[in-house]
Amino acid sequence: MKEKVILAYSGGLDTTAIIPWLKENYDYDVVCCCIDCGQEEELDGLEERAISCGASKLYIVDIIDEFCEDYIMPCVEANAVYENKYLLGTSMARPLIAKKLVEVARKEGATAICHGATGKGNDQIRFELGIKALAPDLKIIAAWRDSHWTMDSRESEIAYCEAHGIHLPFSADSSYSRDRNIWHISHEGLELEDPACEPNYDHLLVLGVSPEKAPEEGEYVTMTFEQGVPKTVNGKEMKVSDIIRELNRLGGKHGIGIIDIVENRVVGMKSRGVYETPGGTILMEAHQQLEELVLDRATMEVKKDMGNKLAQIVYEGKWFTPLCDAVKAFVTSTQQYVTGEVKFKLYKGNIIKAGTTSPYSLYSESLASFTTGDLYDHHDAEGFITLFGLPLKVRAMKMQEIEQKKQ
């Protein structure tokens, strides 16, 4: 009986070519596994394609709700943003994909897991760290790094498939390299490979329009949160995945969440891409607006550091680590009172505040106003400034003393 390998299968050209390649070079029984993170129409026709290429079986595993609730929301609550721009759309999905690949491998009694991530990217790290953390006994085959892999272009992959009697609707024409899930879609390649080139947004965008082509009138949106988790949009209660879908619709319509970034990959090189994250951008901004009201200064200061740390952890594929668990636990503890309502206007790529309320708001109008209230006497500031500035004054006095001795 042949050993089984679980192939992380997207249905694209790379993973389609890998099916006959695995059979030819390793004599495996190939079981394909497609993890549904919200790719939508990209999943159409996958089973027929996988079986026709030589796979014995195809699993399609729906992880959308688990992805939204257990992976996306901890990052939203932390405000985890990599290098000030990237909302971790691909990064957050990879550890959960690895987890599901391991579960299918255990179910099938497989001895190996194969992925089609290239040797230049971050995904190879994220997949493999997840698999190592959850199933250290399983063999990992990275096709693009394998000594048996000789294909180096779309043309060569198509030729390989045709030589094995596989005729598929893939063109050798160049196109963007994309990754899509319910949270975002990323675009790389073509003109984006040159940072001097402006993105061709008319050709590129999938989830929405550019701000220039957004409606001339803004649109108000109201959201409510309970303990950091979104509950309603415009008065309608929904689960997190449906809230993200609705925000994607609204954000795409108004040109929200389009970023052009040159980021630092884990492997050491810089890469340029355009990311569309319309719903995610709105959700993170609304969550932050509510936190402004309810979190104290010291907690916000540390939470900002923890958000940056979680972004780095997730970007580097270290989800299943004690450090990740510890950072998420801290963030969860800060969300106890992040409850309330946020209203904002979407207009040509902008999210404009229109009012925030919370029963746990620490904002005091009597304290913040210019009039003197019972809790604050303007004269109290004098003593505070004296003590707060004492180290500066002492140092300045010492420097004066040293300068005088030189004269």
- For the chain, state the CA radius of gyration: 26
Cβ-based neighbours of 236, under 8 Å, separated by 6 or more: none
Please check the confidence at residue 173 and state whether its pLDDT lies above 70.
no
- The order of strands in the sheet holding 270-276 is 177-180, 185-188, 270-276, 258-264
Q: In DSSP terms, which residues pair with 59 in a beta bridge?
A: 33
Return the half-sphere exposure (C-beta side, CA atoms, 13 A cut-off) of residue 294.
23
Please check the confidence at residue 366 and state whether its pLDDT lies above 90.
no
3-state helix, strand, coil in the chain (%, to 5): 45, 20, 35
Confidence of residue 379 (pLDDT cuts 50, 70, 90): confident
Query: How much is the pLDDT for 373?
Result: 63
Query: How much is the pLDDT for 285?
Result: 98
Gap between the Cα atoms of 105 and 142, Å rounded: 16
> Where exactly are the structural domains of the chain?
4-72+87-173, 178-295+334-357, 373-406
Structure tokens at 225: 């949160």
Largest Cα–Cα separation, the chain: 93
The answer to whether 213 touches 256, Cβ cutoff 8 Å, is no
pTM of this structure: 0.94
Query: How much is the pLDDT for 153?
Result: 84
Superfamily of structural domain 4-72+87-173: HUPs (3.40.50.620)
What is the average pLDDT across 183-189? 96
What is the separation, in whole angstroms, between the first and last Cα of the chain?
A: 93
Query: How much is the pLDDT for 155?
Result: 87
Gap between the Cα atoms of 256 and 214, Å rounded: 9
Please report which helix (H) or strand (E) contains residue 122, including its range. Answer: none
Gap between the Cα atoms of 11 and 19, Å rounded: 11
Query: How much is the pLDDT for 40?
Result: 84
Produce one character per residue of 43-56: b if its CB has 16 or more CB atoms within 10 Å, e if not. Answer: eeebbebbeebbbb
The CA–CA distances, whole Å, from 132 to 72, 165, 251 equal 22, 35, 37
Query: How much is the pLDDT for 230?
Result: 98
Among candidates 56, 39, 49, which has minimal Cα distance to 16? 49
Please check the confidence at residue 158 and state whether its pLDDT lies above 70.
yes
Among candidates 120, 101, 92, which has minimal Cα distance to 317? 92
Residues annotated as part of the active site: 14, 94, 123, 177
Please check the confidence at residue 369 and state whether its pLDDT lies above 80.
no
Confidence of residue 21 (pLDDT cuts 50, 70, 90): very high
What is the average pLDDT across 175-185? 93
Q: In DSSP terms, which residues pair with 272 in a beta bridge?
A: 262
User: Per-residue pLDDT tens for 218-232?
Assistant: 999 999 999 999 999
**What's the CATH fold of domain 178-295+334-357?**
Argininosuccinate synthetase, chain A, domain 2 (3.90.1260)
Query: How much is the pLDDT for 372?
Result: 58
User: Per-residue pLDDT tens for 292-331?
Assistant: 999 999 999 999 999 999 999 999 999 999 999 999 999 9
What is the average pLDDT across 80-93? 98
Can you spell out the DSSP letters for 230-243? EEEETTEE--HHHH
Dihedral over Cα of 291, 293, 298, 299: its sign: negative
